[in-house]
């Protein structure tokens, strides 16, 4: 099938885009998934001329772009805004820090991101939604069911107008289902879809690393939401087969702490069964990019990015077009 293998630039935003292009070419990638931070893709500057120059820069290195990603601003649309958000948001979005003002500015930025994506010529924006109810995940003190329902209603009220702009621009929004978001497993994903009435612009950036350590069936996710897999992140995670000092919730430890039950690893070095993922993607006819989101606290990122690219190209394969038993027919 030779799906393009790209790299998400979010973890490389400390590098100028031109440098990232050169490195990605050297690593063997076919393209980039551009993060909307650093100088990789700046939504506020993304007029037609800006987008043309970005395309030309990538083309000069033999690279393509299939998606852009706005995780940081998207997070602020539904979150209960506090001091943490100031460190991830542009000053123009943070403003005076008034929570509702931040949420409204983030919403308008996501609409503009859809328009910018269309000008760039890509059909998918990956990102986060935020959630007003994530902190109530563990229901003690008890959380009334209607309180959770109201959180999904808040998500719908805030995101439907954004998604309507996506439809107008011919662009899809792909939520990376992930802890801290309105959807973080299969059950919450189903509730999110129902909340927004299965909006046609809303789908998913499938990333198995956020499911595996939770005990969520990541292959089943592909099968269940097959018509809404708009992008795929190739990202690996390790989880221990034995009890550890810091469990699933992390024990307030940092990534890389060897006491943890789980941690992200370079693609092919964790517990995710990518063979089964490729087979499931083939079964649903997914032809989009396989985008490496590279994270591994214990490994040099350039060595890891190069290895992950080669691993992904090796494990991907074209599905069969024949039925083998038909060879026995007379």
pLDDT per position as a tens digit, 63-97: 999 999 999 999 999 999 999 999 999 999 999 99
Query: How much helix, strand and coil, in percent to the nearest 5, is found in the chain?
Result: 45, 15, 40
Q: Is it true that domain 5-328 has CATH number 2.60.40.10?
A: no
Q: 18 to each of 9, 71, 86, how far by Cα in Å?
A: 12, 22, 27
Which letter, b or e, does each residue of 54-83 get, where b requires 16 or more Cβ atoms within 10 Å of its Cβ?
bbeebeebebbbbbbbbbbbbbbbbbebee
Inter-residue contact 63 to 29 (CB < 8 Å) = yes
Convert the pLDDT of each residue in 27-62 to its tens digit: 999 999 999 999 999 999 999 999 999 999 999 999
Confidence of residue 328 (pLDDT cuts 50, 70, 90): low
Question: Rounded to whole angstroms, how far apart are CA atoms 58 and 324?
Answer: 42
**pLDDT for res 17:** 98
Tokens of 5: 């293998």
**pLDDT for res 54:** 98
Convert the pLDDT of each residue in 98-151 to its tens digit: 999 999 999 999 999 999 999 999 999 999 999 999 999 999 999 999 999 999
Inter-residue contact 283 to 1 (CB < 8 Å) = no
**Res. 330: pLDDT tops 70:** no
Q: What is the reported pTM?
A: 0.96
**pLDDT for res 204:** 98
**pLDDT for res 181:** 98
- Counted residue by residue, the chain has a size of 330
DSSP helix/strand/coil, 300: coil
- Work out the average pLDDT over 211-218: 98
**Res. 325: pLDDT tops 90:** no
Helix spans in the chain (H): 17-27, 48-60, 71-78, 83-86, 91-94, 99-120, 145-169, 186-195, 209-212, 218-224, 274-284, 301-315
**pLDDT for res 2:** 81
Inter-residue contact 65 to 40 (CB < 8 Å) = no
- Work out the average pLDDT over 307-326: 89
Tokens of 291: 């985008």
Total Cβ atoms within 10 A of residue 214:
14
User: Domain residues of the chain, as ranges?
Assistant: 5-328
If one compares 322 and 86, the residue with the highest pLDDT of the two is: 86
Convert the pLDDT of each residue in 150-200 to its tens digit: 999 999 999 999 999 999 999 999 999 999 999 999 999 999 999 999 999
Q: Percentage of the chain with pLDDT > 90?
A: 96
**pLDDT for res 1:** 56
Tokens of 229: 């897999």
Confidence of residue 255 (pLDDT cuts 50, 70, 90): very high
């Amino acid at each position: 099938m030779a799906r393009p293998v790209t790299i998400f630039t979010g973890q490389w935003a400390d590098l100028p885009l031109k440098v990232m292009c050169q490195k990605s070419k050297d690593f063997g990638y076919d393209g980039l998934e551009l993060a909307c931070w650093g100088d990789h893709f700046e939504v506020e500057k993304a007029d037609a001329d800006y987008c043309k120059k970005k395309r030309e820069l990538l083309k000069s290195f033999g690279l393509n772009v299939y998606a852009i990603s706005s995780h940081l601003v998207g997070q602020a649309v539904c979150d209960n805004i506090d001091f943490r958000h100031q460190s991830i948001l542009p000053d123009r979005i943070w403003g005076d820090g008034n929570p509702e003002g931040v949420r409204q500015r983030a919403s308008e930025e996501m609409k503009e991101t859809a328009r910018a994506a269309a000008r760039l010529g890509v059909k998918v924006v990956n990102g986060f939604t935020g959630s007003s109810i994530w902190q109530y995940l563990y229901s003690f003190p008890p959380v009334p069911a209607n309180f959770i329902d109201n959180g999904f209603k808040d998500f719908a009220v805030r995101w439907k107008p954004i998604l309507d702009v996506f439809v107008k621009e011919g662009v899809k929004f792909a939520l990376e289902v992930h802890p801290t978001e309105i959807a973080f497993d299969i059950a919450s994903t189903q509730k999110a879809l129902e909340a927004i009435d299965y909006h046609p612009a809303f789908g998913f950036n499938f990333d198995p690393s956020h499911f595996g350590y939770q005990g969520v069936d990541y292959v089943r996710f592909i099968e269940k939401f097959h018509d809404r897999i708009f992008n795929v992140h190739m990202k690996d995670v390790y989880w221990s087969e034995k009890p550890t000092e810091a469990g699933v919730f992390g024990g307030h430890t940092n990534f890389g702490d060897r006491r943890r039950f789980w941690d992200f690893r370079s693609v092919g070095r964790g517990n995710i069964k990518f063979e089964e993922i490729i087979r499931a993607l083939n079964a649903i006819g997914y032809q989009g990019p396989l985008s490496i989101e590279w994270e591994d606290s214990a490994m040099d990122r350039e060595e890891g990015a190069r290895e992950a690219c080669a691993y992904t190209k090796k494990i991907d394969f074209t599905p069969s077009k024949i039925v083998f038993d038909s060879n026995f027919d007379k």
